[in-house]
Chains A and B, each alone.
Chain A
Amino acid sequence: MRSDLHEDDILFDVLRRAVDAGDPIPADAVMTARAVFELSRVDSELAQLVFDSMADAVPVGMRSGAAGGARSLCFETSALAIDVEVLDDGSIVGQVEPAAVTRGRVETTSTGTPLLVDAGGRFRAIVEEPRFRLRFELGARSVTTPWIRR
């Protein structure tokens, strides 16, 4: 029995200590947050996000979310436009324009794998980790998207 718990400030203080003791921040989460510094360095041109169906209203005349829960994103640089759809099952499909990219790559926070881009600039991949980014080479230039959470 504690009569002092009827005092707001005491109850709040005791609650704070209970929360802090029972809900420590996982060490691996902090490691990931620290790793953001290295992971976010880009040695190529960073494409700008110009549309995200999760964040923006869908412009008039555009279909909203092509397939059910798909999220669509568009990125641009002066040289390249990248459209990506992220599906609920973790697959990503998209198209890059102009189609003349020489090489593509999907990077997650732990690995990087080549991304096949067909003659029409279309690509498809499966991403299992929660976060990825895309990198394309176009002649001597290379372009990377910001990290995308799927």
Chain B
Amino acid sequence: MATKANLDGARAAHPARGRPAAAVPARGVSGVGRLDPLTERPDFAPLVRRALDGDSSAWDALVEGLKRVAWKAIGAFDLHEDERKDAFASTFFRLFERLSTVRDPEKLPGWVATTARREASAISRARRRLIPTAELPTNRDATTDDQAEGLMDAELQDALRRALDRLDQSCRELLLLLMADPPLSYDDISQVLGLPHGSIGPTRARCLAKLRATPELAPFLDRRVR
């Protein structure tokens, strides 16, 4: 089982990848519900090696370990469900093509995020030639699954998702990438989005403020505070 201890251990081994303390506590709490010994902190290097040697189970494990990063990176784009799946598949086709050139498996999540973003963006651009975006139905699945989430009611979850959809794409991208699993460091995110490292924290705060200011969240916020 991957425990918090060995997660911290993995972080400690790469001090340059640590992110500001403010971002860390949120991760520790939320990850607990779906910890997976393989995916929470996978060691990608042996998986890459074994997949290149023809071991399909190692490839499956790579998909398992990187699928959430890819899906989050794609999620910020205004795409139909089929297009999102297509961008997701393309990302893994690209990963397979490049597998033999991976020099630093630690950087795979960042590479996957960049590639997924590029694929989603290409599909979005190609589609925009054909259909005005205003006519597109929303891509978000409104179903909620909060059985395990005793703390949060479905209405708030739903409001949060609609509020996120309302934000501009750069905010959606940053927030979704900050949620990536395995986590992307600020360095990774800086590379993926082309943002200066130092602006990530302030931008996150600004995007969260925008989220709070949406009409969707108004009923849930206690105005007496602040």
Q: Which residues of A contact B (CB under 8 A)?
A: 1-3, 5-6, 8-26, 28-30, 32-34, 36-40, 54, 69, 88, 130-131, 146-147, 149
Which residues of A are found within 8 Å of B84, using beta-carbon distances? 29
What separation, in Å, do the CA atoms of A8 and B86 have in the docked complex? 33
Which residues of B are found within 8 Å of A36, using beta-carbon distances? 59, 63, 89, 92-93, 95-96
Q: Given A19-B75, A34-B60: A12 and B89 within 8 A (CB)?
A: no
The segment from B7-15, B101-109, B149-157, B189-197 that touches chain A is B149-157
Residue of B nearest to A12 (CB): B26
Which residues of A are found within 8 Å of B145, using beta-carbon distances? 21-22, 24
Q: Are A23 and B75 in contact (CB under 8 A)?
A: yes
Main SS at interface, chain B: helix
Q: Given A18-B160, A22-B157, A54-B122: A33 and B88 within 8 A (CB)?
A: yes
Residue of B nearest to A2 (CB): B220
Q: Are A18 and B88 in contact (CB under 8 A)?
A: no
B200 contacts chain A at the CB level, 8 A cutoff: no
Q: Are A40 and B96 in contact (CB under 8 A)?
A: yes
- How close is B68's CB to chain A, nearest CB, in angstroms? 7
Q: Are A18 and B26 in contact (CB under 8 A)?
A: no
Interface centre among B22, B90, B143 (most CB of A within 10 A): B90
Q: Given A2-B220, A23-B141, A28-B85: A18 and B161 within 8 A (CB)?
A: yes
Q: Are A21 and B26 in contact (CB under 8 A)?
A: no
Q: Given A1-B220, A22-B142: A14 and B67 within 8 A (CB)?
A: no
Q: Given A12-B178, A17-B149, A131-B93: A6 and B30 within 8 A (CB)?
A: no
Interface centre among B25, B96, B130, B205 (most CB of A within 10 A): B96
Q: Are B161 and A19 in contact (CB under 8 A)?
A: yes
Which residues of B are found within 8 Å of A15, using beta-carbon distances? 160, 164, 175, 179, 211
Residue of A nearest to B28 (CB): A13
What separation, in Å, do the CA atoms of A45 and B140 have in the docked complex? 42
Q: Are A6 and B221 in contact (CB under 8 A)?
A: yes
Which residues of B are found within 8 Å of A20, using beta-carbon distances? 30, 34, 179
Q: Are B158 and A11 in contact (CB under 8 A)?
A: no
- How close is A38's CB to chain B, nearest CB, in angstroms? 7
Which residues of A are found within 8 Å of B96, using beta-carbon distances? 36-37, 40
Interface centre among A2, A6, A21 (most CB of B within 10 A): A21
Residues of B120-175 contacting chain A, CB below 8 A: 122, 126, 129-130, 140-146, 149, 152, 156-158, 160-161, 164, 175
Which residues of B are found within 8 Å of A9, using beta-carbon distances? 22-23, 25-26
Q: Are A3 and B25 in contact (CB under 8 A)?
A: no
Q: Are A32 and B140 in contact (CB under 8 A)?
A: no
Residue of A nearest to B221 (CB): A5
Which residues of A are found within 8 Å of B56, using beta-carbon distances? 37-38
